[in-house]
Amino acid sequence: MQSERAANTPQHGIRQHGAMEFTDPPAELDQVRMYRLGRIREQLQRLDYAGVLLFDQVNTRYATDATNMQIWCSHYETRCVFVATEGPVVLFDYGNYPHLVEGLPTIDEYRKMPSFYYFTAGPRASEFAAIFVAEIDDLVSCYGGGNRRLAIDRLSFEGTAPICARGIEIHDGLEVLEQARVIKSNAELMLMRASIDVCQRGMQAMYDILEPGITENALWAKLHQVNIEQGGEWIETRLLSSGPRTNPWFRESSMRKMESGDLVSFDTDLIGPYGYCADISRSWLCGDVRPTDEQRRLYAHAFDQIETNIERLKPGMTFREVSLGAWKIPSEFEVNRYGSLIHGVGLADEYPSIKHALDVDARGYEGVVLPGMTLCVESYIGAEGGREGVKLEEQVLVTDSGVERLSNYPYEMDWL
């Protein structure tokens, strides 16, 4: 369907990615790895921590670039990384698989983790947790220089209680990693562009097969297929819906067969090559028909919101200034407004989350838009009780002088 759009989609060579195997990467990967580790240590020094213990697999990836069953390990406390502020990086892995980290300059020591989550440890969980915590205590004692302040991004009571019992102060590791991840190096941006490139190829493949009778799941599967074929990793959500399922937002893809004239809205949330996120949203029309006046009206509002907010976004603005100076949402769309106005993006969605003016006092926080931030500008336009809604989103880079678009998949300009 409507394949003439393919000529407008960027074309680059396929980058292969497997477990630590890359072919022709667009940037020097060791440079990226050491930059990211350095960013973490800057935050550890700023906050006066002896180190950080990371269980979130996105954070372990950022710190080391080592991967091992990332989605599976996200369910269980079976793989983590200890980063000393001044000392080694120790990877505790699910099993004894040191071949998975060969050649990585970010890892000084590899250990098999004594896992203590209930599935594997059962009633012996506390016994195995004590073994693990003894190792962490030893690392803090050896490399902390007397500092007993340890940041942890996430850990169950089974692990945190014995750490506290040993006199180690626990602090928020998410702050460490979110602040570290917020500024991208030029090499990181090259990897992110590669992920966006693959994502937009996948979007084009979806567009080409969109026709009445296809299910939402079948259309969504095409994006997964292209992502995996071209070196990508996974998709964080399954936010694709059609027709009356597009309003309100956040319904996941289903077995609904699309009908001619349906709006089709989606949000990619795609983790592509090298682990970087491509977070782009578009809304299309199913079938060889023209949009209705109402569909065009919704689309025009969403487009105005995206374009206005990109145009007004500047380095040096406070988050509050961004919120209060943003495109004003018409009252009929306020109830169904998207959860954030703009949010950060890197290896996944990340800091900051800039709120709508309506929400800034209740849910907003202070901060400044800085060069090197990569952000996603959001829009969802759907009236309360309306039949359909339009989802648009663009990924951008904040530069010294303004904003550069990273995503460039075409809009439905003939609807405007």
| Average pLDDT of the residues in 76-91 | 97
Q: What percent of the chain has pLDDT over 90?
A: 94
Q: Domain 186-415: which topology?
A: Creatine Amidinohydrolase (3.90.230)
pLDDT single digits (tens) 373-389? 999 999 999 999 999 99
* Mean residue pLDDT across the chain: 94
Q: How far apart are CA 415 and CA 242, in angstroms?
A: 18
Give residue 21's pLDDT band: very low, low, confident or very high (50, 70, 90).
Answer: low
Same CATH fold, 186-415 and 18-181?
no
pLDDT of 309 strictly over 70: yes
- 331 forms beta bridges with none
H or E element that contains 351: strand 349-354
pLDDT single digits (tens) 108-120? 999 999 999 999 9
At 113, give phi and psi (nearest 5°): -85, 135
> Of 99, 19, 120, whose CA–CA distance to 61 is shortest?
19
Q: What is the DSSP string of 1-66?
A: --GGGGGGS------EEETTEEES-SS-HHHHHHHHHHHHHHHHHHHT-SEEEE-SHHHHHHHH--
Enumerate residues 6+ apart whose C-beta is below 8 A from 346.
62, 181, 182, 184, 188, 192, 276, 277, 374
* DSSP class of 189: H
> Of 190, 412, 414, 387, whose CA–CA distance to 281 is shortest?
412
- 171 forms beta bridges with 151
Which CATH number applies to 18-181?
A: 3.40.350.10
What does the pLDDT read at residue 12? Answer: 39
Enumerate residues 6+ apart whose C-beta is below 8 A from 102.
20
Could you tell me the residue ranges of all domains in the chain? 18-181, 186-415
Q: How far apart are CA 220 and CA 216, in angstroms?
A: 6
pLDDT single digits (tens) 197-235? 999 999 999 999 999 999 999 999 999 999 999 999 999
CB 99 within 8 A of CB 113: no
Give residue 99's pLDDT band: very low, low, confident or very high (50, 70, 90).
Answer: very high
| Average pLDDT of the residues in 322-340 | 98
Of 13-27, 178-192, 205-219, 270-284, give the lowest mean pLDDT range.
13-27
H or E element that contains 384: none
| Average pLDDT of the residues in 295-307 | 98
| Average pLDDT of the residues in 145-173 | 97
What does the pLDDT read at residue 9? Answer: 40
Give residue 24's pLDDT band: very low, low, confident or very high (50, 70, 90).
Answer: confident
Q: How far apart are CA 87 and CA 139, in angstroms?
A: 9
